[in-house]
């Protein structure tokens, strides 16, 4: 296994497959030429087809940037200036959305939960019932801060009951977790090419209901994040600004590979196999999961730092063994670490990882 690259166990960017990496080594392309327009249209079609329920009613609009860029473009383009947007946060990424709404001066109400806790649906219900100004809800699907998969079905039911729209940050779930695009209250979903889709960093996207582009006008207060500008230019495959052309090569290949491997369901199953293996072995080694219960997404797990260890020591030892793990954010740096099974990871990689962790922890115990 000495020819394996360093394995990234962070939640994106991911360890690339050989197939995606090879796609980068092709002739250069100008984004104003017909061949690029054809590539872009292909990517848009494939993005909308990842979930067959999205294909007819949603349009994928791509833009150059990371996941945050897509989330902010969605907020900037679609969040009402008159009605209140309710943000449900239980981690870094939900709080970032509330900060975006504030930066764009949109009326916002944040229901903030502790990072260890689920979204309290009873509180959501009471808030929606008590505030008729709320027109939209924004939530994070897979809260990468801890790896908790927030439950969408009851949230969408509440949105339907109160007649409000849901916009979703699915940056770390699109391509591996179920998203109910058939639900009429789901209007826009933001994600990126370099997490569950296994492309490289550079292209992010928003899947939005086509009707939004027909019946509304943009609310964006700038140019670069205005999804309506991209949508109009991309109808024939072009882009208002220079897109990350090479990231498009990779994304097209990654989407073809995803389809060949069985689509989002198969990817979710594969991720879960690996992450359950990691969680069960670490539990045996005395490193329990950070969250209680069966609440994790298929690919992000968080663990309590074992007593007597700090993150840097564990990180450095595993880095030397060929693995990059991921720290807790903010105050969680002192409490936990994360292991993510996104990317082109083999069974043998996880075997080597678990051996390295065992040797590390047991070596210390023997001293």
Ligand X SMILES: *Cc1c(COP(=O)(O)O)cnc(C)c1O
Paired tokens of 331: 């105050």
Closest distance of CB 100 from ligand X, Å: 11
Does position 67 interact with ligand X (CB under 6 A)? The reply is yes
Q: Is 253 in the site for ligand X (CB under 6 A)?
A: no
List binders of ligand X among 217-246 (CB under 6 A): none
* Cα separation, 249 vs 26, whole angstroms: 9
What mask, x for binding ligand X by CB under 6 A, covers residues 123 to 162? -----------------x-x-x------------------
By the rule CB under 6 A, 302 interacts with ligand X: no
Strands (E) in the chain, as ranges, are: 7-8, 58-65, 84-89, 108-112, 134-140, 142-143, 148-149, 165-169, 186-192, 202-209, 300-304, 323-324, 326-327, 336-340
Nearest to 212 by CA among 61, 7, 106, 364: 61
| Binding flag, residue 193, ligand X (CB under 6 A) | no
Is residue 78 near ligand X by the rule CB under 6 A?
A: no
Of 177 and 360, nearer to ligand X (C-beta) is 177
In whole angstroms, what is the distance from residue 272 CA to residue 342 CA?
A: 10
Q: How far is the CB of 171 from ligand X (least distance, A)?
A: 4
**CB 66, min distance to ligand X, A:** 3
Tokens of 306: 């074992």
Nearer to ligand X, 67 or 243 (CB): 67
Dist. CA 334–CA 235, nearest whole Å:
48
- Residue of minimal CB distance from ligand X? 67
Q: Least separation, in Å, of the C-beta of 301 and ligand X?
A: 14
**# binding residues, ligand X (CB under 6 A):** 14
CB atoms under 10 Å from CB of 23, counted, come to 22
> Helices (H), strands (E): how many in the chain?
12, 14
Indicate which single residue of 36, 93, 271, 296 sits in contact with ligand X (rule: CB under 6 A).
Answer: 93
Q: Which of 11, 175, 193, 199 forms a contact with ligand X (CB under 6 A)?
A: 11
For the bound state, the minimum distance from the C-beta of residue 161 to ligand X, rounded and expressed in Å, comes to 26
Q: Which is nearer to ligand X, 158 or 170 (CB)?
A: 170
Rounded distance between C-alpha atoms, residue 292 and residue 257, angstroms: 34
Q: By C-alpha distance, which of 178, 179, 173, 170 is closest to 196?
A: 173
Q: Please select the residue that binds ligand X; options are 68, 80, 218, 329, rule is CB under 6 A.
A: 68
Q: Of 185, 187, 133, 120, nearest to 159 (Cα)?
A: 185
Footprint on this chain of ligand X (rule: CB under 6 A): 11-12, 66-68, 71, 93, 140, 142, 144, 169, 171-172, 192
């Amino acid at each position: 296994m000495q020819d394996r690259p360093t394995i990234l166990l962070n939640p994106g960017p991911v360890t690339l497959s050989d197939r995606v990496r090879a796609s980068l080594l092709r002739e250069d392309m100008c984004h104003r030429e017909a061949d690029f327009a054809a590539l872009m249209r292909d990517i848009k079609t494939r993005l909308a087809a990842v979930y067959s329920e999205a294909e007819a009613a949603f349009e994928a609009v791509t833009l150059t940037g990371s996941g945050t860029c897509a989330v902010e473009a969605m907020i900037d383009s679609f969040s009402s200036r008159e009605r209140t947007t309710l943000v449900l946060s239980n981690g870094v990424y939900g709080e970032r959305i509330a900060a975006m709404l504030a930066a764009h001066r949109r009326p916002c109400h944040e229901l903030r939960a502790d990072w260890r806790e689920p979204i309290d649906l009873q509180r959501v219900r009471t808030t929606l019932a008590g505030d008729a100004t709320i027109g939209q809800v924004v939530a994070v699907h897979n809260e990468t801060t801890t790896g908790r998969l927030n439950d969408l079905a009851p949230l969408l039911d509440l949105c339907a009951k109160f007649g409000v729209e849901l916009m979703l940050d699915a940056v770390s779930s699109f391509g591996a977790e179920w998203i109910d695009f058939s639900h009429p209250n789901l209007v826009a979903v933001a994600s990126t090419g370099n997490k569950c889709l296994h492309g490289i960093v550079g292209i992010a996207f928003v899947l939005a209901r086509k009707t939004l582009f027909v019946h509304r006008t943009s609310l964006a207060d700038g140019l670069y994040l205005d999804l309506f500008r991209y949508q109009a230019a991309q109808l024939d495959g072009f882009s208002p600004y220079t897109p990350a052309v090479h990231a498009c090569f990779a994304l097209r290949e990654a989407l073809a590979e995803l389809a060949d491997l069985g689509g989002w369901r198969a990817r979710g199953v594969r991720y879960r196999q690996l992450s359950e293996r990691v969680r069960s072995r670490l539990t045996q080694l005395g490193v329990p999961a950070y969250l209680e219960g069966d609440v994790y997404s298929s690919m992000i797990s968080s663990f309590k730092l074992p007593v007597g260890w700090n993150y840097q020591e564990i990180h450095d030892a595993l880095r030397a063994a060929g693995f990059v793990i991921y720290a807790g954010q903010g105050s969680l740096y002192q409490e936990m670490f994360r292991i993510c099974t996104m990317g082109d990871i083999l069974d043998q990689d996880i075997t080597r990882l678990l051996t390295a962790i065992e040797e590390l922890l047991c070596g210390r115990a023997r001293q």
